[in-house]
Structure 1
Amino acid sequence: MKKIINILFAFILVISSGYSQTSQKAKSYLDQVSKTLSSYKNVSIDFTYTSHNTASQDISQKGHIDIQKDLYVLDFMGIKKIYDGKKIYTISTEDEEVTVSNLNKDKADGILPSDMLTFFKEGFSYQWDITATVKGKKIQYIKLIPTDKNSGIKDILLGIEDATKNIFSQVQTGKDGSKMVLSVNSFETNQTLSKNHFTFTASKYPNYYINTID
């Protein structure tokens, strides 16, 4: 379960983990997206995550994430993750356990929201793709292709709502035929959040085991 959460978290935040200078048109467009996202005080997203695997049954779950600079609160599949700028708190309702850890950039949950604004790292080439109308919205798609030939990812199709330059969807296709689809159900910005919104409060979990691993 926790492994799925970490994969999903990376999938949400690394909306684009890097691109090479293959398409100037796509680069300019993603510059606009990056500028728009960085202008918000905070972002609240309701999403649906669907995993298609030829070897197993499809998984489809809804979740929610609040982001303010590098702080975040993620709720998904009975797991809540809070990053307060210093520590990551992984709260499992099923296990009644809170795992406290340091941020580790080498792990999936070490990715920060600001990383999704870094569109120009190495790792992908990108292509200008189709424009389509989805749910009455004009969506521009950009395809990302890993430059690492040994990558298990075939490509990532990133959908951008053209009018707002907000993220609309992301489809990651594996070379094994698997797919991970992230669909944004609502994208709210500049919400009124309490000053303790991104703070872990132990008193809310009186019977939980606190497991501090580092």
Structure 2
Amino acid sequence: MKKITILFLGLFLTTVAFSQDSEKAKSLLDEVSAKMGAYKNMYIGFSQTLSNEDAGIKEGDEPPIRGEINLQGEKYNLNYLGNQFIYDGKNLHVINHDEKEISISEGDIEGDDGFVYPSKLLTFYKEGYTFKMGKLQNTKGRKIQYVILNPKDSNSEIIQVELGIDAKTKHIYKLIQTGTNGSKTSFTITKFKNNEDLPKNFFTFNKDKFLSNNYIID
């Protein structure tokens, strides 16, 4: 009976500790989302790297992919992978400047594959994840607190997300996604600005402008 009691007590304490750790992690994420989401707008410059040890691809083998995004509420203007994405809160416009082709779709990127897109940084964690506190790391003189997120969906193509948060500013610094195929995508914020004076039509798609420049709209 004593052994059973000790075992039960051990399981109970483990469950309580896990629950407290999960609540602490979620509380930190909520604090970050609330702080960054309260800005009138944000500019984020970022770099993205890919590694896959199973495939012999190490981080740094290829130059990082660089991009930038301006966010204002649900609206955003993103330059990424050679394309420009303009979401005006209703429709998503994907502009390929090299091919002069534009596709327009209703609604935002769904992200059904589990990949966390730059436009979803502040909200992706709110549904479909479990949380726990990760390591506290010193990076270039900054204390970065990591939170580990695991998708609840067993069919997700992403098995883990590590979100690095600057412990002082409560801003997101880095996001690392590990896929089911062993690939690891690292997204690092290299430049950050907030509350800038942007043109009124910054998040508006100017159809006439592109048509006059011989763009093809699907």
TM-score, reference length from structure 2: 0.77
CA 1:66–1:21: 2 relative to 1, 3 Å: farther
Worse overlay, 141-150 or 56-65: 56-65
Q: Which runs of 5+ in 1 are unaligned?
A: 1-19
CA 1:132–1:105: 2 relative to 1, 3 Å: closer
Tell me the amino acid that sits aligned with residue 129 of structure 1: G
1:158 corresponds to 2:163: yes
| Larger relative contact order (Cα-Cα within 8 Å, sequence gap ≥ 6) | 1
CA contact (8 A) 2:93 2:205 kept: yes
Tell me the amino acid that sits aligned with residue 201 of structure 2: N
Greater radius of gyration (CA): 2
CA 1:56–1:149: 2 relative to 1, 3 Å: same
Which structure is higher in helix share?
2
Of the candidates 93, 109, 117, which is equivalent to residue 123 of structure 2?
Answer: 117
Worse overlay, 28-37 or 143-152: 143-152
Q: 2:7 maps to what in 1? A: none
How far apart, in 2, do the equivalents of 1:112 and 1:62 lie?
Answer: 12
Of the candidates 166, 172, 196, which is equivalent to residue 167 of structure 1?
Answer: 172
Of the candidates 196, 200, 216, which is equivalent to residue 209 of structure 1?
Answer: 216
1:23 corresponds to 2:32: no
1:179 corresponds to 2:178: no
- Aligned-residue sequence identity (percent) comes to 37
Alpha-carbon RMSD? 2.6
Tell me the amino acid that sits aligned with residue 26 of structure 2: K
Q: Which runs of 5+ in 2 are unaligned?
A: 1-18
Aligned residue pairs: how many?
Answer: 190
CA 1:119–1:177: 2 relative to 1, 3 Å: closer
Of the candidates 96, 100, 103, which is equivalent to residue 100 of structure 2?
Answer: 96
Deviation above 4 Å: which 4+ runs of structure 1? 56-59, 104-109, 111-115
Secondary structure of 2:89's counterpart equals: coil
How far apart, in 2, do the equivalents of 1:60 and 1:47 lie?
Answer: 9
Q: Cα deviations across residues 26-49 of structure 1 (Å, max 9, x unaligned)?
A: 122122112102210001000001
